[in-house]
Amino acid sequence: MLRRWMLPILFLVVGLASAARQIAQGSPVAAVTLLLIFLVGAVLLSPLMFPRSVSAAEALRRSAADGRPIVYWRPGCRYCMRLRTRLGRHAYRMHWVDIWSDPDGAAAVRAATGGDETVPTVVVAGEPHVNPDPRWVRAQLS
């Protein structure tokens, strides 16, 4: 669980240290600006930016019932973030599995990618696609 939050926590710590340094130098406006920048970065890199994750078993069950794609992802992955931001509100029409919090999800990705944990891996109709183009993924939702 802590692994998922390490990068956002690191961003907050660096932001706080930078802000404290700016305050010590007599620049409160710069301190607030830096703190806000690092806070936004921490939120963007956190699991909060993604739809609520489900287990791999639950995603498979739901996908079989409604035909929606499954996205295997992990916090801090810039390609996952790219996919998430480009999907916009359509991201909520998919089932998201955080491979750092679900060992079965990580195993499914390793099986699909030949042994590594390359994410995002999107499964559409039982067929895995590693780091697909976000436009293609959005087209699969239609």
Give 46-102 pLDDT, tens digit per residue.
Answer: 878 888 899 999 999 999 999 999 999 998 889 998 999 899 889 999 999 999 999
For the chain, give the mean pLDDT: 92
Ramachandran assignment for 106, one of left (phi > 0), alpha (psi -120 to 50 degrees), beta (any other): alpha
Report the predicted TM-score, pTM, of the whole model to 2 decimal places: 0.76
For the beta sheet containing 70-73, the strands, ordered from the edge strand earlier in sequence to the opposite edge, are 95-98, 70-73, 121-124, 127-130
Strand 70-73 with 121-124, pairing? antiparallel
